[in-house]
Amino acid sequence: METKILKEMISVIRAEQQRRDSLLTDEDPNFASDQWRFTDAPFVNELCLMLLVALRHQVERELVGLAARAADEGKEVSSQHYKEKVRQLRHKNSKTMWEKINDRLKLKSCNGYKPMEALRLLANSYKHDQSMEPFQGLLKLLNLEIGVNYAPLPESEALQEGLATFIGLEKHADYCDIIERFVEIASDFLVNVQSRTKLSKVKWGKVSLNPNDFAR
């Protein structure tokens, strides 16, 4: 998985976090604390959450491609054949598609599956919950208390701490550290998936140098 852009984006968010922190002064500690807790931290955290959603979608794209290449027992296939296999997977409803992908790639037995499941549930909580509260499935996976009120994802210290400890970080790790760790886990997970699966090589053919054929 290509991580260069993700890492550059983490650096941008961390720089903004440090810039906002540098603007806080000790002249009024109460104001500085409130400014960080209720304004700056939620803003930085939401940037991180959006990047985690992007990471999840990148992992999904990679898995769809791997599942398409796992359909022919390692035989070399044409680019057209590969694209058709991708289309067939994407054409299914989401549940059926992931059942097929899990069946071909045996994801549940791969190293890093549980953190990737946490990432999936986190992304879905961010995208689909009207109040941006964590789904119960995510709380269960992180061993967090169920049946209590949680702040929206960017403001929930309990969720942040739960995510950090779940992926092996210190309890008070910030979201930039959490993203970096998830990127590492995702990369290792995809490598493990590939190493355990017989994948077809795709014969892409020659690349046209005609400007009229370039993607627009």
User: Bigger pLDDT: 158 or 33?
Assistant: 158
Q: Quick one: which H or E segment has residue 77? A: strand 77-78
Domain ranges of the chain: 49-201
Please state the rounded mean pLDDT for residues 75-87.
94
Residues above pLDDT 70, as percent of the chain:
94
pLDDT of residue 35: 82
Length of the chain measured in residues: 216
pTM comes to 0.91
pLDDT of residue 180: 97
Query: What would you report as the CA-atom Rg of the chain, rounded to the nearest whole angstrom?
Result: 21
Residue 28 has pLDDT above 70, yes or no: no
* Chain mean pLDDT for the chain: 92
180 half-sphere exposure, CB direction, 13 A CA radius: 13
Residue 126 has pLDDT above 80, yes or no: yes
Look at 87-91, 142-146, 173-177 and tell me which has the smallest mean pLDDT: 87-91
Distance CA 1, CA 16 (A): 26
State both tokens at 131: 């109040």
pLDDT class of 139 with cuts at 50, 70, 90: very high
pLDDT of residue 26: 66
Tell me the H-state helices in 92-207: 94-105, 113-128, 136-141, 157-166, 175-195
State both tokens at 45: 């955290």
Residue 142 has pLDDT above 90, yes or no: yes
Please state the rounded mean pLDDT for residues 167-194.
97
Distance CA 79, CA 89 (A): 15
Residues 6+ apart with CB under 8 A from 117: 141
